[in-house]
Amino acid sequence: MSVLVTRDEETGVAVVTLNRPERLNAIDLDAARQLGSVWRELRGDNTVRAVVLTGAGERAFCTGIDRTAEVAQPSSPYSTDDPLIAIGPKANDLWKPVVAAVRGMACGGAFYLLGEAEFVIAAEDATFFDPHTTYGMVSAYESMYLALRMPHGEAARLALMGTAERMSARRAHEIGFVSELTAPGGELAAALRCAETIASFPTEAVQGTVRSLWAAKEATLAQAHSRAPAFVALGNLPPERQAELYTRRRSKDFRVR
């Protein structure tokens, strides 16, 4: 399975793990479908009151969409088929709190997930970057999530610098994108501690608070997302040119630093 789920009925916490470490937990079409199914399943599981989201292995939390996934696009600049648009918990109407535990690389489409988590706990060796511009693609949805989670200048630098530089976990913590730093390997335990505490509180109050926090920004995000397809259609290089740039640089851009 590309997505693993474990449940602890005693604590009320489920752990959702992106389980493609050999692909740096990149999300293919099957994994995207599994994520949507997992969030919807957790909605109806009353034994689960909080969720931890993490990635398998030490190299990456998630490196976005798997470039081997072929997604045909409509010719209209006013619509786009984005296979990652519905991979997050909020996109699937899950209002149980989600805490992300990040180690290694988190980039590109990973921000669909991190953007819909309540908060992020990261290992000190975690890094964040967005490769879109490097490969001739518009960072639209990803940048919109980032702009709601960090100061504008930091979001702009991360998105525009592509693979040329990475935001360190420490810098992400300084600007508030990451709420807690741990030693490498300690991020999951720290996220579990938080999730278990939250799960011990009255469910209705917790979910109402999650919903209230999201309500403060969802209108802005929905309006931004409605314009994203046109930005992507107008700004992206042709697919063959993107593939050329990606093939030329991938081994360098996605190595562990």
CB 28 within 8 A of CB 67: no
Instruction: Note the pTM of the prediction, 2 decimals.
Output: 0.94
Pairing assessment for the beta strands 60-62 and 50-55 based on DSSP bridges: unpaired
133 domain-assigned:
yes
User: Which residues constitute the domain of residue 191?
Assistant: 3-199
pLDDT at 147: 96
Q: Please choose, from the candidates 176, 120, 121, the residue with its C-alpha nearest in 3D space to the C-alpha of residue 151.
A: 176
**Per-residue model confidence (pLDDT) at position 247:** 85
- Tell me the C-alpha distance between 78 and 4, whole Å: 35
pLDDT attached to residue 211: 97
Q: For residue 152, give both structure tokens.
A: 């504008």
- How many domains is the chain partitioned into structurally? 1
- State the average pLDDT over residues 223-249: 88
Is there a domain that residue 73 lies in? yes
Place of tokens 């996109």: 91
* Angle at 40 (CA atoms; ends 92, 47), nearest 5 degrees: 125
Which residues are bridge partners to 182 per DSSP? 123
The domain that contains 174 carries what CATH number? 3.90.226.10
Please give the pLDDT value at position 67: 80
251 found inside a domain: no
Side by side, which strands form the sheet with 60-62? 60-62, 105-107, 127-129, 167-168
Total number of residues shown for the chain:
257
Task: Give the Å distances, CA to CA, from 114 to 45, 93, 100, 230, 239.
Answer: 22, 16, 7, 24, 26
Percent of the chain with pLDDT over 70: 95
Q: Is residue 180 assigned to a domain? A: yes
Tell whether 130 is covered by a domain. Answer: yes
The pairing of beta strand 60-62 with beta strand 13-18: unpaired
221 is a domain residue:
no
**Bridge-partner residues for 15, per DSSP?**
6, 52
Residue 203 phi/psi, 5-degree rounding, is -60, -45
Please report whether residue 208 resides in a domain: no
Mean pLDDT along residues 111-130: 98
Rounded to whole angstroms, how far apart are CA atoms 201 and 203? 6
Closest to 45 measured CA to CA, from 23, 16, 75, 78:
16
Tell me, yes or no, whether 205 lies in a domain. no
The pLDDT of 116-125, averaged and rounded, is 98
Please give the pLDDT value at position 77: 63
- 3-state helix, strand and coil shares in percent for the chain, rounded to the nearest 5: 45, 15, 35
Q: Give the tens place of pLDDT for each residue, 141-157.
A: 999 999 999 999 999 99
Q: Which of 62, 50, 37 is nearest to 126 (CA)?
A: 62
pLDDT tens sequence across 27-79:
999 999 999 999 999 999 999 999 999 999 999 999 999 987 766 666 666 66
Please tell me the distance from the alpha carbon of residue 16 to that of residue 52, in angstroms, as a whole number: 6
